[in-house]
A and B are shown apart, each in its own frame.
Chain A
């Protein structure tokens, strides 16, 4: 072992990241449903709704691609961080991979660093591809000033960090057999009520209030504040972008998720200790 345990942990974590990335890219279903889906949907929505947006309506003034870009960035965040992590950890616990890792001297932190590394690389790549497609294929104007990009950076970071720890925490309630339904169902539902697939303003108030409890709504709202014109703030339920509240909610979810992870994480499936 290297003399410095922290360096050793990080070196193994980097190695785990490489391994996780290889496994991720080799699983074609995962690549499609967590990585490509938001990109495909952005293209689809732009083509389908392109005309109605051009003709003018509630969201007049922006193209369909521009309108859906923040939603798809937010959707990508929850898919690559929460859904992908919850599914993979649940599977790995069930098929004994976690137990085998636990039987080696690898520090547990290296395993989690590997997961974080995977999520960081996939989320960043996915977001970059989304922005590139929006800009180059659909001519969506991107922000020109540092302030918008700073907002983009912290919303993305908090969203991905929270999604990852919550995904690891949530993996404990799913078995490999139930993971598909237990994870994907709620994620889909949350996307609908959080204003990812249709405008948040069209969702009944009581459902808006439910959505506001969860982090996805705030990631989507934060992203809208980055990519939509400033006067769109009036369409939000609060009539403003609420950056302060967004930061607080996302931070609380991250801390809560981390605490639950640390307290409940299991290396073995139930009944096998």
Chain B
């Protein structure tokens, strides 16, 4: 696989704080990669270094074959033409940007399209993000979700080979997030390499080929969502009800345990009362990975809405055990996630 992004030993510090601390990562062309981590983990710093908005302190970085620190520096040897050529192949969706209130989505997209050498048709992009009805209305009147979809539209209008998405769905309602995932999936289908940062575990699980968990500027785990932290091979927790009390035990062989329970306890209709079999969810694995690194109140990158509060509350409330409240049918008990 050709490499879209190569990061070797990346470091960046702000004063005494090490925002990024020796990060190594390779992202292949056409891959959808999700960067997960608590606030202050260094996600945004890393992404902004890749986008050329920040200068790194140490390490080597290549994005589409170019060093962003050199290509984006107006005083660099490569000059401005090269920067424009590089950005022509990249789409950047920042964490939130305004300033377009007085324009309409169509005006903003048409103007932005002019900057690129082979832009997507404006109509096509408006349809892709589902803004047909709002295309000729002032952006000031758009909802938060619609504005975010416009941000993505502006990010993909140039037909990028590589798309950066920094917390694209923070503040979305569930329906808007589902629609948004469909959009990202179709971009991925077209071969766009996507680097996504997110607070939402289900989002990473749904969209990403691989996820990287960062905390305190270091990569703690790197795998497919299914295998992260070795969770596919981890022991399952079997719980059931017997004599009016709830029982559970952890086993490497849940199928056998269920068979034993069925033989011993099955009621007339063949069911074991309140039977569940669960393996750690991605969220459980994620929270146990970052738990040692999360300091409450340590918030370098600023408060970013509900995602952060949700994460922090769970972390401060202690590590969840095996997701004992999750009910799954014995026959297809796996990761507690329906694919």
Contacts and interface: CB of A to CB of B under 8 A. Distances in A.
B85 interface: yes
Nearest to B104: A22
B116 interface: yes
Interface of chain A, main secondary structure: helix
24 contacts: A1-B84, A15-B111, A16-B111, A22-B103, A23-B102, A23-B103, A26-B138, A27-B102, A92-B99, A96-B97, A97-B98, A99-B53, A99-B94, A103-B87, A103-B92, A103-B94, A104-B87, A104-B158, A105-B83, A105-B158, A107-B80, A108-B74, A108-B80, A268-B53
Given A19-B103, A105-B88, A273-B53, A100 B154 contact: yes
A96 B107 CA distance: 18
Contacts of A54: none
A22 B102 contact: yes
Contact of A99 (B81, B97, B103, B154): B97
Contact of B98 (A15, A19, A95, A107): A95
B94 A96 contact: yes
Nearest to B100: A97
Contact of A96 (B81, B85, B98): B98
Contacts of A12: 114-115
Given A22-B107, A105-B83, 11 more contacts: A1-B88, A11-B114, A12-B114, A19-B103, A19-B111, A95-B97, A97-B99, A97-B100, A104-B158, A105-B84, A105-B85
Interface in B138-156: 138, 154
A119 B69 CA distance: 34
Contacts of B98: 95-97
A252 interface: no
- The bracket for how many chain B residues form the interface is 20 to 34
Nearest to B95: A96
A104 B112 contact: yes
A102 B138 CA distance: 23
B62 interface: no
Interface in A22-75: 22-23, 26-27
A95 B139 CA distance: 14
Contact of A105 (B48, B96, B115, B154): B115
Given A95-B99, A96-B96, A105 B114 contact: no
B99 A96 contact: yes
B18 interface: no
Contacts of A105: 83-88, 115-117, 158
Contacts of A91: 99
Contacts of A97: 97-100
B51 interface: yes
Most-contacted residue by chain A among B48, B88, B100, B154 (CB, 10 A): B100
